[in-house]
Amino acid sequence: MMTDEIRSLTEQLDPGRLPAHVAIIMDGNGRWARQRHRPRLYGHRAGAKAVRQVVEIAGELHLPHLTLYAFSTENWSRPRDEISGLFSLLIEYLKKETDELNRKNVVLRLIGSPAQLKPEFLKRIHDLTRKTWNNTGLHLNVLFNYGGRQEITDAVRQIAEEIKSGALAPDEINSGIISQRLYTKDMPDPDLVIRTSGELRLSNFLVWQAAYAEIHVTPVLWPDFGKAEFVKALLDYQGRQRRFGGTGE
Ligand code: FPP
């Protein structure tokens, strides 16, 4: 559903120059909860509602790829109850939303390192998401137990194995070979990275893939980020001149 504000923002978009891939660092759930004197998990729950809004608008605008950073390899240093709360929230979201995502023709994938994750958890996620894999609309990628350096390390290990077995020669290594060994191998690189809550950091997020991404930082905390903020980020993106290291002339 679009309100008048969102419709009038959307009308300002150039439909021919929408990004193929938007990736979001959803930050500020903790601060949002603190402002309300509530536990951090209350903020993450509100964050899951914002996820719903953003997935909806991405679908309405027919964007091909949306990636959300839900749990990083560094998040293991958080308090145990927050970690287990985030795990439960993810499962709850998948249980509640996959039928709806299916109806909306969304392909849902969880991307990250399987290391440290229990086989039962991995199986659960696999079973909950697989029914969306034959869909053809928005590709929604949720990064869970994801870290950019970990991903590159895994790719380097795989390349080393391939060289050892003779399947690959060292002089065949190029950026395409590396991209194809990342967790994101079948996706275009993000054109636009959004970070909420005002932090000016990449925080180990898609460090290889975001090499040429435009970055939009908003002070809005993630639970307050909705459709209007998403369209504003797209408008900011469309105002940029992308040069990819050239002069743009
Ligand atoms: C960062 O805020 C947010 C996270 C580490 C978790 C993101 C998770 C969700 C939005 C909910 C579940 C996701 C899905 C896909 C259903 P923070 O806690 O670092 O905030 P702070 O910097 O204000 O403390």
Question: pLDDT per residue over 69-90, tens digit each?
Answer: 999 999 999 999 999 999 999 9
In 97-123, which positions are buried (b, 16+ CB within 10 angstroms) versus exposed (e)?
Answer: bbeebeebebbbbbbbbeeebeeebee
- Calpha distance 165→187 (Å, rounded): 27
Mean pLDDT, the chain, integer: 96
Q: What percent of the chain has pLDDT over 70?
A: 100
Report pTM: 0.96
Res 104: pLDDT: 96
The C-alpha atoms of residue 151 and residue 129 are separated, in whole angstroms, by: 21
- Alpha carbon of 5 to ligand 1 centroid (Å): 26
Distance 29 CA to ligand 1 centre (A): 5
Looking up tokens 């690189």, which residue turns up? 189
Model pLDDT, residue 224: 98
pLDDT tens, position by position, 25-54: 999 999 999 999 999 999 999 999 999 999
> Which residue out of 4, 14, 27, 81 is catalytically annotated?
27
Q: Is the pLDDT score of 248 beyond 90?
A: no
Ligand 1 pocket, CB under 6 A: 26-31, 40, 44, 47-48, 51, 68, 70, 75, 86, 89-90, 93, 142, 197, 222
C-alpha 40 to ligand 1 mean position (Å): 9
pLDDT tens, position by position, 137-149: 999 999 999 999 9
- pLDDT, tens digit, 9 for 90 and up, residues 100-125: 999 999 999 999 999 999 999 999 99
Q: What pLDDT does 244 receive?
A: 86
Stretch 222-248: mean pLDDT, rounded? 94
Residue 27: active-site member: yes
Interatomic CA distance for residues 152 and 130, integer angstroms: 26
Q: Which of 4, 29, 75, 189 is catalytic?
A: 75
Number of Cβ within 10 Å of residue 186's Cβ equals 11
- Band of residue 247 on the pLDDT scale cut at 50, 70, 90: confident
Give the start-end residues of each E strand in 30-187: 65-72, 107-111, 139-146
**CA-to-CA separations, 17 to 12, 63, 101, 111, 237, in angstroms, rounded:** 12, 11, 25, 27, 9
Q: Reply yes or no on whether the pLDDT at 160 is more than 90.
A: yes
The confidence score (pLDDT) of residue 2 equals 80
Distance 44 CA to ligand 1 centre (A): 5
Identify the bridge partners of residue 25 per DSSP, sorted by sequence position.
69, 195
Angle between helices 40-60 and 80-103 (to 10 degrees): 20
75 is catalytic: yes
SS3 at position 72: strand
